[in-house]
Structures are given as structure tokens and as C-alpha cells.
Chain A
Amino acid sequence: MSEMQTWLVLGASSAIARAFARAAAARGADVILAGRDTEDLARTAADIAISTGRAAATISFDALDVASHASLVQRLAAVPGVLNVALMFGTMPEQAAIDADPDLALSCIASNFSGAVSILHRLAPLLEARRAGVVIGFGSVAGDRGRLKNYVYGAAKSGLHTYLAGLRNRLGRGGVHVMTVKPGFVDTAMTFGLPGLFLVASPEFVARACLDAAARRKDVLYVPWFWWGIMAVIRAIPERTFKRLSI
């Protein structure tokens, strides 16, 4: 692994992505922070450059603006060494808000699913040609089962899981590893102050777990790990019973 590593972090403004970029740079990689608020990303880039001495660049990226994705990928072709991708964006409107405004369902799918597929599918040939690198895609435990409280978001993430599985199959043949991450409760802006959370993980913990698991070439990562058990139980509940639960 002596070749220069670069992590492209898509949706770099979130707390998890910020922690991930810091951790990746601390382990010796350069980072490219991609997101909408480039002014703010420049602050994170400065922080990373100062604290780790690695190169940290910013690039404008909007998951919903799919028309811009091709030119972004073109620019990334110039990145030397190994290009790794961490896809970490997402939006989680409340189910009640979606029920009141069905358009929200579409934008939720557009950012969590269509936007993700759009950028990853354009990056895939680039990664295939380089025959190296890791792709980390952020799904969610919410994608493991359609639940009353969160099923549009869950459906979008579930779609992403399936897409990532297929991409893993495709890119794995060319030496590129794809890892799906399913975080449980993490202390982020999305979950801040929500009632009913338990065993909440810090963004720094999740970031480290992702890098460790990616180095071990794990396929699907539940983080914290015990969510694997929780979701195994939830998946095992027969639909006949599940449809009456409101979890």
C-alpha cells in the first residue's frame, strides 16, 4: 500500500463525513471534500491540512444536480495514485412531513438513492480502469425493513444497499472493493435531540470503524456492531406480525 491514497468524500459537511475525512488524513491519505457548502468545507479542509499535514481540497458537489456529475468525474480523473470514494450524503425528512407532502418522498429518493447511483455509476469506469481503491457507501439500518416511522427513507436506503451489492460484484472483479455501511444511532445533526435513541455512537467512532473495516475488506458493516444482531431480530419478525408494530 505504498501508493498515494486519496479519499473523495461525497457529502463532506456531515459530522460523520468530517470525522471520516479527519481520520483518513490522520492515517496518511489526501482528501477531497465534496459538497454544496464549499465555503464551509474550506474550513474543514484547513483543519485537516493543519492537523495532519495532508493535502485537503474542496470541490462543489450536489447529489440532486445530476447533470453536473459527469464533469465532476472528469476532473477526478486527474487525481494521482489510488482514488477511494466515501459516499456519505443523505437526507432524512420526517415520515409525517413526507405524508403531508408527497413531493418530499421524491426528493428523499432523489438525494439518498438516485443521486448516489448517478455519481457512483459515473465513477465506476474510472475506478475499474485504475484497478484499485475502495468505495464506502452509507446505507442505513432503516433500509433493512420497511417501518411505519421511516419507510420512504428506508426504501431509498434499501435501494442503495441493493445497488451497492451489485456494484461490489462488478467492481470486485477489477480489484476495487465496495463496502456497505449500515450505521445505527449516531450522534449527528440528523438525530440530535430525537427521543428514543439508545447506545448512540460518536461520529469519530463510526469513522474509525469504517476505515478499519475497509482495510479488512469487509462487505457489509453494521456500526456499532451490535446493530447486526438487532436488525437480525427485526428482519426475523414475520410480516404478519410486523405490519401491526409501530417501531
Chain B
Amino acid sequence: MRKAALQLTGWGRGPASSLEATRPERFSEAVAAFSEPVGAHGLCLRGAGRSYGDCALNAGGDALITTRLDRILAFDAETGIVQVEPGVDFRRLLQVFLPRGFLVPVTPGTFFATIGGAVANDVHGKNHEHAGSFCQHVTELDLVLPDGSGRTVTPEDGALFRATAGGLGLTGLITRIAFRMMRVSGGGVTVHEQRANDLEAFLTAMAVSADATYSVGWIDGAAHGTRLGRGILETAEPCDDEISRHRPRELRVPVDFPGFALNPVSIGIFNETYFRRVPEAGRTRPVAWQKFLYPLDAIHDWNRIYGRRGFIQFQCVVPFETGPAALRDLLEVISGSHRASFLAVLKRMGAGRAGYLSFPMPGYTLALDFPRRPGIEELYERLTAITLDAGGRVYLAKDALLDALTFRRMYPEFAGFSEVLASIDASSRMQSDMARRLRLREAP
């Protein structure tokens, strides 16, 4: 296949990687493109490019983009099992299956992500504590291994499945994913929003409502002193009512914002307004599925508000036991840096994970965006150090700055992953910028 010279970035933008890409449209083309000879920088797979960092980039190497492998292959309404090509995205599944009463059991906060990408990062949603991670709902995968041979993998297969789930595309090309959809009866959820005036109140409120099906908190990363860790907790239950499914209006950010648009003052004002939007006594209202699961998708290309230099997302998870103290330390560093943006999330996580490199562990996960400005590396390092000390880890789907050593300490099952890679891809054909940065193709 003809290769196109492209300059690509992750969702966080910033410096681009030059690579040679194919974008096959048919199954046979995909297998052929995957098997073509590659140079020293190997081959990387890429879905919709919604990972923030560099896991779907391969500077100086090749990439295979899966977005045109986008067919729904089978659906069994009895079992709810759907089979899709890897480039099918969450948006399509919502459009096709919600009217019939089926919803994906786990979804990230953007419906532009592909199912192949969801497997390769073993993604989690706002219901992780109860529903687990995406790959825990997968019943079968078709995989083209780095040597070009095909293989069907099930969770019972053990090592190869665990290396592929959350495996960052390094075990080969996933060409078919079978997973179980969930039945839903109505058009959306009943959302309850409540204010939490500080971190302690926040964690208590989350613990009290730990049984809620969906639970997610917005946290004010700029608040400090007695307000440190204040935010809004949103819990939700599926409801049977028909909620008007009028399409939310879609907007687009047409230009890159100038670098100064996001500053401590504008963010302080935004956060204050956002916090006060919810009355002190809280509020409850019905919200359609799309609006509830994918609020950010109503604004296309929102990553452009950070300007050309882009931004970094820091997402960590810290265990319940060490969590409260660690979160306090993290928030103090963050608010003291005066760099946090308004997109900031605090959630509880459960134990559900399917792969060696899956992110989740029982605890609290905190995610914040920072404009990519000088000094960001030091800030990120301080945050990862606190996370590591607390026995936590950062999420690779978001990461662009972690170092290989810290990664190894955060991901103790890396040895198992390495062993599988060594057995299926001794010549390190599968590569990425992240694989080189974290030395994923080297000894644990």
C-alpha cells in the first residue's frame, strides 16, 4: 500500500512525530499493510488518536491507522454480544444500539475513541468500581501477531490475552473484538449533583455514594487553603424514562487559542462559576445518555484551546489507604503551581483490570490538564513522585513524560508483559514513541 508521510501528535498536541502511515480500508489490505517490511523504528498502530501522549506515535517509523476498518460484523440480541472491526468507534455503537436498548458496558469519556484503542488501553468509565474495565467484557479477539500469523485470543488463553488487553498495540493488530453489550431500558440517567467544600467532604461523599452505578467528580484544581480539593460529585442511575433525545448542539473550536487565553485568573473565574452552578443543596435531573457519557464531545477539537504548544494530562490512581494524604499532597502541588486547567476529574476505582499493563487499582483516580509550558516536566515529576510513594501509578493512555524506571516501579506486572513480547516479537517489530521512551521493548 502507498504510504503517506504524516506529522501526527497525540490528543495533547505539542511536538509532532513524522511517520509513514497506511490507512487500510479492507480486511485483506490491513493484513497486507501490517505485514509489509518496516525500518529500524518498526511499526505502530493507531486508532482515533485520542490518547493524550505518545502511545500511538512512531517518529521516524511506520504507522497503521485503523479508523477505516469500521464495520460491525455481528450482533446477537440474545446474548448482547457484538463483534466489530477495530476502527468502529463508541459514537457508532451509541447510534446503532441505543435505540434498540443496548449500551456499551464501559466507555471512556469520548465517543471518538475506537474499540481497538479501548482494548489497547483497557479503558475505564465512570462506572469502574462496579463494571470493571473494558477488556473484562471482551469475550474474544482476533489478532495478527507481529510475524503476520493470525490468532483468536480469549480471556481463558491467559498470557497473550493479558498482554493484549492494555497492551498499547505492541502484541500486534487486533482485527476483531467481540464483547458483551449491556441492556438499558430508557433514554438516560438520573443525575444527582452535590457540592463538596473540601477534599475530606469530597472523599466522604464519594464513600457514602459508593453504590451508585455511575460516579464522577469535578475538582477545582485551583482551589487552595480551606477550599483545597473542593468540587462537585456527580452520581447517576439509569432511569426508565424516555428522555428527549434531541441531538446536543455540536460546536467546533475553529482556531488555536493564543497561549495566554488560559491563565490563573480566567481559570479561577471559570472554576468559581462552575462550582456555584450547582446549588448548595444539590440538584437532581434527568440527562440523556450521550450528554452524560460524552459531555466534552459536544465541542469538537476542544484541544485547540490550549494553543499550538498543546497540553499534558496527568492521571494517576492512588490506593484507598494512602489516597487521602497523597491527594492532599498532589492538590497542594497543583494549586501551588497555578497551572491547572479547568478540566479536572476525581473518581473512585475498583479492582477491575484485564491486562498486565492495565491502569486500574482500587483507589482514587485524579486527572488534570496542564498547558505545555516550560517547567511542566518538573511539575509532572513531582506529581509522579507523590503517586509512586503512595503506591499508585499514572495512566499510560494519558502519559507523555514518565521515565522508564518510574514506569517499572508503577507497573509490577511488566515482567509478564515483557515475557509475552519476547516470545511473539523477538525482533521488536512493534514500536512506538512511548515504547522507546519507557523502554517497553527492553528487559524489565
User: Which positions in A face B, CB cutoff 8 Å?
Assistant: 13-15, 18, 37, 39-40, 43-44, 46-47, 50-51, 189, 192-194
Which residues of A lie under 8 Å from residue B26 when comparing CB positions? 13, 37, 40
A15, A44, A47 — which one has the most chain B CB atoms within 10 A of its CB?
A: A47
Which residues of A lie under 8 Å from residue B21 when comparing CB positions? 193
Cβ of B71 and Cβ of A44 under 8 Å apart? yes
In the complex, whether B5 has a CB less than 8 A from a CB of chain A is yes
Q: Which of under 10, 10 to 19, 20 to 34, or 35 or more describes the interface residues of B?
A: 20 to 34
Binds A, one of B72-80, B290-298, B302-310, B433-441: B72-80
Query: Considering only CB atoms, which chain B residue lies closest to A47 in the complex?
Result: B71
When chains A and B are docked, how far (Å) is the Cα of A50 from the Cα of B6?
A: 34
Minimum Cβ distance to chain B for residue A107 (Å): 17
Cβ of B23 and Cβ of A192 under 8 Å apart? yes
When chains A and B are docked, how far (Å) is the Cα of A39 from the Cα of B29?
A: 12
In the complex, whether B25 has a CB less than 8 A from a CB of chain A is yes
In the complex, whether B4 has a CB less than 8 A from a CB of chain A is yes
Known contacts A192-B23, A193-B5, A193-B21: A39-B28 contact under CB 8 Å: yes
Cβ of A50 and Cβ of B68 under 8 Å apart? no
Query: Considering only CB atoms, which chain A residue lies closest to B82 in the complex?
Result: A50
Minimum Cβ distance to chain B for residue A193 (Å): 2
Cβ of A43 and Cβ of B71 under 8 Å apart? yes
Which residues of A lie under 8 Å from residue B27 when comparing CB positions? 39-40, 43
* Those of B54-99 within 8 Å (CB) of chain A: 68, 70-75, 85, 92, 96
Cβ of A193 and Cβ of B2 under 8 Å apart? yes
Which residues of B lie under 8 Å from residue A18 when comparing CB positions? 25
Q: Which residue from A15, A37, A46 sits with its C-beta under 8 Å from B28?
A: A37
When chains A and B are docked, how far (Å) is the Cα of A44 from the Cα of B26?
A: 10
Minimum Cβ distance to chain B for residue A18 (Å): 8
Cβ of B73 and Cβ of A46 under 8 Å apart? yes
Cβ of B25 and Cβ of A13 under 8 Å apart? yes
Which residues of B lie under 8 Å from residue A50 when comparing CB positions? 72, 74-75, 96
Cβ of B71 and Cβ of A193 under 8 Å apart? no
Which residues of B lie under 8 Å from residue A51 when comparing CB positions? 72, 92, 96
Minimum Cβ distance to chain A for residue B17 (Å): 15
When chains A and B are docked, how far (Å) is the Cα of A50 from the Cα of B76?
A: 10
Cβ of A47 and Cβ of B72 under 8 Å apart? yes
In the complex, whether B328 has a CB less than 8 A from a CB of chain A is no
Minimum Cβ distance to chain A for residue B155 (Å): 24
When chains A and B are docked, how far (Å) is the Cα of A196 from the Cα of B21?
A: 17
Cβ of A15 and Cβ of B72 under 8 Å apart? no
Report whether over half of chain A's contact residues are helix, strand or loop; otherwise say mixed. Answer: helix
Known contacts A44-B71, A46-B72, A50-B72: A189-B85 contact under CB 8 Å: no
A-B contact pairs, 29 of them (CB 8 A): A13-B25, A15-B68, A18-B25, A37-B28, A40-B26, A43-B27, A43-B71, A43-B73, A46-B71, A46-B72, A46-B73, A46-B74, A47-B70, A47-B71, A47-B72, A47-B73, A50-B72, A50-B74, A51-B92, A189-B23, A189-B25, A189-B68, A192-B2, A192-B23, A193-B2, A193-B3, A193-B4, A193-B21, A194-B4
Minimum Cβ distance to chain A for residue B111 (Å): 16
Query: Considering only CB atoms, which chain A residue lies closest to B85 in the complex?
Result: A43
Query: Considering only CB atoms, which chain A residue lies closest to B3 in the complex?
Result: A193
When chains A and B are docked, how far (Å) is the Cα of A64 from the Cα of B25?
A: 21
Cβ of B28 and Cβ of A40 under 8 Å apart? yes
When chains A and B are docked, how far (Å) is the Cα of A209 from the Cα of B73?
A: 27
When chains A and B are docked, how far (Å) is the Cα of A18 from the Cα of B71?
A: 10
When chains A and B are docked, how far (Å) is the Cα of A50 from the Cα of B93?
A: 11
Query: Considering only CB atoms, which chain B residue lies closest to A41 in the complex?
Result: B26
Minimum Cβ distance to chain A for residue B96 (Å): 5
Which residues of B lie under 8 Å from residue A15 when comparing CB positions? 25, 68
When chains A and B are docked, how far (Å) is the Cα of A9 from the Cα of B404?
A: 52
When chains A and B are docked, how far (Å) is the Cα of A60 from the Cα of B74?
A: 22
Query: Can you list, as one digit per residue, whether each of B153-166 has a CB less than 8 Å from chain A (1) or not (0)?
Result: 00000000000000
Nearest first, the 3 closest Cβ-Cβ pairs linking A and B are: A193-B4, A47-B71, A40-B26
Query: Can you list, as one digit per residue, whether each of B3-26 has a CB less than 8 Å from chain A (1) or not (0)?
Result: 111100000000000000101011
When chains A and B are docked, how far (Å) is the Cα of A41 from the Cα of B419?
A: 38
Which residues of A lie under 8 Å from residue B85 when comparing CB positions? 43
Which residues of B lie under 8 Å from residue A47 when comparing CB positions? 70-73
Minimum Cβ distance to chain B for residue A189 (Å): 6
Q: Which residue from A14, A37, A46, A193 sits with its C-beta under 8 Å from B6?
A: A193
When chains A and B are docked, how far (Å) is the Cα of A47 from the Cα of B6?
A: 30
Query: Considering only CB atoms, which chain B residue lies closest to A188 in the complex?
Result: B25
